Amino acid sequence: MKKPKSSSVSKLIADNRKARFNYEILDTLEAGLVLTGTEVKSLRSNQANIAESYASFENGEFWLINSYIPEYTQGNRYNHDPRRLRKLLVSRREMSRLSQAVARDGMTIVPLKLYFNERGRAKLELALARGKKTHDKRETEKKRDWNREKARLLRERG
């Protein structure tokens, strides 16, 4: 008997919904995170925020900057700093490709989703993105409004 296909995102923790509005997404990849025990326990309660965070290269390593994982309530003195830098685990080939794109083309690496995969590991979906200009954002908003209006009209008529 075949097992049903499971989705690639098994348990979503945080979603960066503004990233797709503010940036033009060119490429995505999955990265692991180096976390402490209290951070993992805090993530299991679904209170993380990655809306204002980004990834950067420093000293030959890949870091997630400005992400927020709140302190674990039962964590006493072994608790973590909520806004600390978190190391990202990416293959060397991906790291060099991303660093060249950021340096050469002026792109940004933004997180899209933070989730636990099927094995229970915390993963981060990253995107290589280019910032949208104001007129691009207005165009995106017009398309979204038109699609919403079109769906409403189709529901009424048919």
* Residue at token pair 């954002």: 137
pLDDT above 50: residue 36:
yes
Give the ranges where 44-124 is alpha helix by DSSP (H).
Answer: 92-105
Q: What is the pLDDT of residues 68-91, one digit of tens each?
A: 888 888 777 778 878 889 899 998
In a domain, 6, yes or no: no
Q: Is residue 69 part of a domain?
A: yes
For the record, the structure tokens of 33 come out as 């995170």
Q: How many domains does the chain have?
A: 1
Q: Is residue 87 part of a domain?
A: yes
pLDDT value for 8 = 54
Residue 4 pLDDT class (50, 70, 90 cuts): very low
pTM for this model (two decimals) = 0.75
Predicted local distance difference test score (pLDDT) of residue 134: 84
42 neighbors 48 (Cβ within 8 angstroms): yes
The count of other CB atoms within 10 Å of the CB of residue 119 is 7
Distance CA 130, CA 10 (A): 28
| Cα distance between residue 27 and residue 78, in whole Å | 37
Helices (H), 11-133: 19-22, 37-43, 92-105
Could you tell me what percent of the chain has a pLDDT over 70?
94
Q: What is the pLDDT of residues 56-69, one digit of tens each?
A: 888 888 899 998 88
CATH of the domain at 50: 2.40.280.10
pLDDT at 45 over 70: yes
Kindly state whether residue 151 falls inside one of the protein's structural domains. Answer: no
Provide the residue type at 52 as one letter: E
CA 44 – CA 47 distance, rounded (Å): 8
